[in-house]
Amino acid sequence: MSESPHIPVLPREVIDLLQKTENPEPLWFLDGTAGEGGHSKLILQTFPNAKLILIDRDSVMLERAKKEILSVVGSLDRVYPFQMNFSEVDNELLESLGCPGLDGALVDLGVSLFHFLHSGRGFTFKNEEPLDMRLEPQVGMKTAADVVNYSTVLHLKKVFWEYGEERWALKVANNIVQSRHKKKFETNTDLVKLVEASIPRKFWPKESHPATRIFQALRIEVNEELLHAEKGIRTIASCLKMGGVFACISFHSLEDRIVKWTFRDLKANDQFEILTKKPILPTDTEIRENRASRSAKLRGIQKIEPILKKRWEK
């Protein structure tokens, strides 16, 4: 199956935010979620003297990003790749590279289309695949099948309601528990069929598959995405130089809520300024050209001198 060329989400808007960094010669950037390398290559092209710390928790995606950067930029001399979760980035890692702090950072909380279309890990509804959903399959975490087959009905309901905002959470959870007594869930298709049977057809959403919210919830649970999101935002913000900018893209309300409230909390400590009063959304043109961008929201924050210190200096 041939793959469509990757199109990064909100490309101009991300670069516009990162260019607000106050260092006249920005040298260090971080892409905390390398994905397909789309944003990384734009950063390297926009800042031709800068170095880029390239992070992804999935080794497959990290290699794909490096390949994409190499094909466009022509070299990986300015790139420092690490397979790790962006929530693990800290000043110790920066110091090991001789980096005094980040002039700019980006985290894209979305899951790459590659995972849905080509990973074979059960993220999709289209092809029958093992019900896995791990972004780090080599780490030995629980799989989506483990969650479905061994969680209590109350835990399943909690996962589907809190992470998927699924109104049929309890019914789906009950049906899963009843069904797994006869046969354990092994593939994505097993789960899709059960969800389709659990939600009355008249309540199926018009523009998405009825299992979309259940699959989203399981993916978040398996990969602890929201936990890593808040921790990662805080740790990366702490790694910024004075005047450095942190841009964050989210794709659903749970993620955006975490970004918004974590940014607000950072601002309350007088060390950060929020650059986006409201999230930046894709234009109608971008949505037509790249359907994957339709739910994207971009927010930005900048590290500033503490207000009390400014007053003291005056």
Q: What is the pLDDT of residues 56-98, one digit of tens each?
A: 998 888 999 999 999 999 999 999 999 999 999 999 999 999 9
Find, among 21, 17, 16, the residue nearest to 275 by Cα. 17
| Choices 1.10.150.170, 3.40.190.10, 3.40.1190.20, 3.30.830.10: CATH for 122-223 | 1.10.150.170
Looking at residue 121, what is its pLDDT?
A: 78
Round to whole Å and give the CA distance between 149 and 152.
9
120 is in an annotated binding site: no
Looking at residue 140, what is its pLDDT?
A: 59
Looking at residue 276, what is its pLDDT?
A: 97
Looking at residue 304, what is its pLDDT?
A: 94
Q: Which residues contact 68 (CB under 8 A, 6 or more apart)?
A: 6, 36, 37, 38, 40, 41
What is the 3-state secondary structure of 201-262? HHHCCCCCCCCHHHHHHHHHHHHCHHHHHHHHHHHHHHCEEEEEEEEEEECCHHHHHHHHHH
Looking at residue 291, what is its pLDDT?
A: 86
Round to whole Å and give the CA distance between 85 and 108.
12
Round to whole Å and give the CA distance between 135 and 9.
20
Looking at residue 119, what is its pLDDT?
A: 64
252 is in an annotated binding site: no
Q: Which residues contact 252 (CB under 8 A, 6 or more apart)?
A: 216, 295
Looking at residue 124, what is its pLDDT?
A: 84
Looking at residue 117, what is its pLDDT?
A: 63
256 is in an annotated binding site: no
37 is in an annotated binding site: yes
> How does strand 102-108 pair with strand 51-56?
unpaired
Q: Which residues contact 167 (CB under 8 A, 6 or more apart)?
A: none
| pTM of structure | 0.88
Parse the chain into domains and list their residue ranges. Answer: 11-114+226-313, 122-223
Q: Look at the block and give the residue holding tokens 């359907």.
A: 291
Find, among 2, 3, 68, 10, the residue nearest to 34 by Cα. 68
DSSP track, 100-129: --EEEEEEE-SPPHHHHHTS-SS--SSS--
Q: What is the mean pLDDT of the chain?
A: 91
In CATH terms, the fold of domain 11-114+226-313 is Rossmann fold (3.40.50)
| Residues of the chain scoring pLDDT < 50 | 1-2, 309-314
Looking at residue 2, what is its pLDDT?
A: 42
Q: Which residues contact 106 (CB under 8 A, 6 or more apart)?
A: 14, 18, 29, 30, 31, 32, 33, 39, 43, 246, 247, 248, 249
The alpha carbon of 42 is separated from its chain's Cα centroid by a whole number of angstroms, namely: 18
- The answer to whether the 11-114+226-313 and 122-223 domains have the same CATH topology is no
209 is in an annotated binding site: no
DSSP E strands in the chain: the ranges are 28-31, 51-56, 79-83, 102-108, 240-250, 272-274, 297-303
272 is in an annotated binding site: no
Reported as a single tens digit per residue, the pLDDT across 171-182 is: 999 999 999 999
38 is in an annotated binding site: yes
